[in-house]
C-alpha cells in the first residue's frame, strides 16, 4: 500500500512539509476557486464592484486630498497619482484581511477534516490577486486615457513588487489568522490597523514629503517601493532599483518567516479551540 501515516504528538515546531503542501495543491486551488465564485454572488452588479471600489475611492481622495488639501503629486495628475497607490495598497489590505479571517471562516471544515491549514490564508491571497489584475487593467487604461504611457520597465517592476506585497501580506496574514483563532478581537482591530497603515504608506502623498533622514521608515512598508517606482515610470524611462525596494523586500521576508513560524507553532491546536 502506498499510503502510510504515522501519527504522533506534535513536537516539531518550525517544519514546513513542502511535499504535503504539494499533495494538497488541488484543495488549495479549489479553495481559491470557491472564494472567487462566492465573493460576489447575491450582489446586484457582481464583479463590477471590483471596478467601482478603486475608482470611487480615487474620486473621493482626489477631491479631498488633491483639490482641498493640495497634496503635491509631482508631475502626475493627483487622480492618477493616488490611483497608482490605491491599486497596490488595496491588494495588500484585501489580502491581509481575507488571510486573517480565513481560518475562522472555515472553522467547520477545520474541525472535521485534516488538511494543512496553511493553504487557507495562502488561497485567500491568491483569490485577491484576481481583483488586483482587474485593478491593474483599470490603472493602465486610465493612465493611457490621460496620455501617460508607462515605460516598458513596469512589466519588470510590477511582478517583483507584487511578490514583495504578497509575501508581506501572507506573513502578516498567517500571524493574525492564528491569533484570530484564539482571540476574535483581530476582526475588530484589523480595520484600524489597516487604516493606520494606509496613512503610513505613500498612497495619498509621495514619500518626497518625508524628511530624507526618516525615509527609511517608509521603506519598511512593503507597498512603498513598488508604488513609488511605478509612479516614476509613468513619466521617466530611466529606471534604477532604489535601495527602498531592497529594504521592503527584506522586511517582507522577515515578516513572512515570523508569521510562518507562529502559524506552524499554533496550528496543531486550531481544531481544538477554533
Partner 1 sequence: MTPIIEVHHLSKRYRIGRAQSYFSLRDSINHFFTKPLFLRNRPRQFWSLHNLSFQVEPGQVLGIIGSNGAGKSTLLKILSRITPPTKGTVDLHGRVASLLEVGTGFHPELTGRENIFLNGAILGMSQKEIRAKFDEITSFAEIDNFLDTPVKHYSSGMYMRLAFAVAAHLEPEILLVDEVLAVGDHQFQRKCLGKMRDVSRGGRTVIFVSHNLESIKSLCTQALLLDKGRIIASGSPQDVVSRYINNNLQENQVDTGRYPILAQDNSLTLLSFSLLNSRHKPSHTLISGNEIHWSASLKFNRLPQSFNFVIALENENNSRVVTIASQPSLSASVITKTGRFTLAGSCPGINLQPGYYRCAVGIRFNDQTVLYQPSLGFITIRDNSTSMYPGQNGLVRTDSVWHISHEH
Instruction: Point out which residues bind partner 1 (CB under 8 A).
Output: 1, 3-10, 26-27, 30, 34, 37-38, 41-42, 106, 108-115, 181-185, 268, 271-274
Q: Which three cell numbers stand for residue 154?
A: 513596469
Least distance from C-beta 255 to partner 1, angstroms?
21
Judged by CB, which is closer to partner 1: 183, or 241? 183
Least distance from C-beta 168 to partner 1, angstroms?
24
Write the burial class of residue 90 (CB in 10 Å: 0-12 exposed, 13-18 middle, 19+ buried): buried
Helix (H, G, I), strand (E, B) or coil at 27: helix
**Rounded-to-integer distance, Cα 20 and Cα 17, Å:** 5
Q: What are phi and psi of 23, to 5 degrees?
A: -60, -30
Q: What are phi and psi of 99, to 5 degrees?
A: -65, -40
Least distance from C-beta 11 to partner 1, angstroms?
9
Judged by CB, which is closer to partner 1: 106, or 207? 106
Of 126, 145, 144, 136, residue with least CA distance to 84: 136
Least distance from C-beta 95 to partner 1, angstroms?
21
Judged by CB, which is closer to partner 1: 27, or 198? 27
Q: What are phi and psi of 27, to 5 degrees?
A: -65, -40
**Rounded-to-integer distance, Cα 191 and Cα 211, Å:** 28
Judged by CB, which is closer to partner 1: 31, or 91? 31
Judged by CB, which is closer to partner 1: 8, or 70? 8
Judged by CB, which is closer to partner 1: 28, or 256? 28
Judged by CB, which is closer to partner 1: 64, or 114? 114
Least distance from C-beta 42 to partner 1, angstroms?
7
Least distance from C-beta 182 to partner 1, angstroms?
6
How many CA atoms are closer than 13 Å to the CA of 151, on its beta-carbon side?
Answer: 15
Least distance from C-beta 217 to partner 1, angstroms?
27
CA distances from 143 to 12, 61, 149 (A): 51, 17, 7
CA distances from 127 to 33, 122, 183 (A): 7, 9, 25
Amino acid at each position: 500500500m502506498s499510503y502510510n501515516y504515522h501519527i504522533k504528538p506534535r513536537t516539531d515546531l518550525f517544519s514546513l512539509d513542502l511535499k504535503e503542501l504539494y499533495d494538497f495543491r488541488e484543495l488549495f486551488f479549489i479553495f481559491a476557486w470557491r472564494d472567487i465564485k462566492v465573493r460576489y454572488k447575491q450582489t446586484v452588479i457582481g464583479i463590477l464592484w471590483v471596478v467601482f471600489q478603486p475608482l470611487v475611492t480615487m474620486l473621493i481622495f482626489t477631491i479631498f486630498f488633491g483639490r482641498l488639501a493640495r497634496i503635491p503629486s509631482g508631475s502626475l495628475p493627483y487622480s492618477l497619482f493616488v490611483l497608482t497607490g490605491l491599486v497596490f495598497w488595496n491588494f495588500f489590505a484585501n489580502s491581509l484581511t481575507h488571510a486573517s479571517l480565513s481560518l475562522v471562516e472555515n472553522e467547520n471544515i477545520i474541525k472535521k477534516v485534516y488538511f494543512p491549514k496553511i493553504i487557507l490564508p495562502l488561497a485567500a491571497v491568491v483569490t485577491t490577486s484576481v481583483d488586483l489584475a482587474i485593478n491593474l487593467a483599470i490603472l493602465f487604461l486610465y493612465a493611457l486615457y490621460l496620455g501617460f504611457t508607462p515605460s516598458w520597465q513596469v512589466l519588470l517592476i510590477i511582478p517583483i513588487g507584487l511578490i514583495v506585497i504578497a509575501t508581506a501580506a501572507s506573513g502578516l496574514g498567517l500571524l493574525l489568522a492564528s491569533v484570530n483563532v484564539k482571540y476574535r478581537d483581530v476582526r475588530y482591530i484589523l480595520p484600524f490597523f489597516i487604516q493606520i497603515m494606509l496613512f503610513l504608506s505613500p498612497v495619498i502623498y509621495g514619500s518626497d514629503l518625508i524628511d530624507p533622514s526618516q525615509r527609511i521608515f517608509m521603506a519598511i512598508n512593503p507597498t512603498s517601493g513598488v508604488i513609488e517606482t511605478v509612479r516614476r515610470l509613468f513619466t521617466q524611462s530611466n529606471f534604477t532599483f532604489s535601495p527602498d525596494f531592497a529594504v521592503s523586500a527584506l522586511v517582507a521576508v522577515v515578516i513572512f518567516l515570523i508569521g510562518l513560524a507562529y502559524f506552524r507553532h499554533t496550528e496543531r491546536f486550531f481544531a481544538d479551540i477554533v
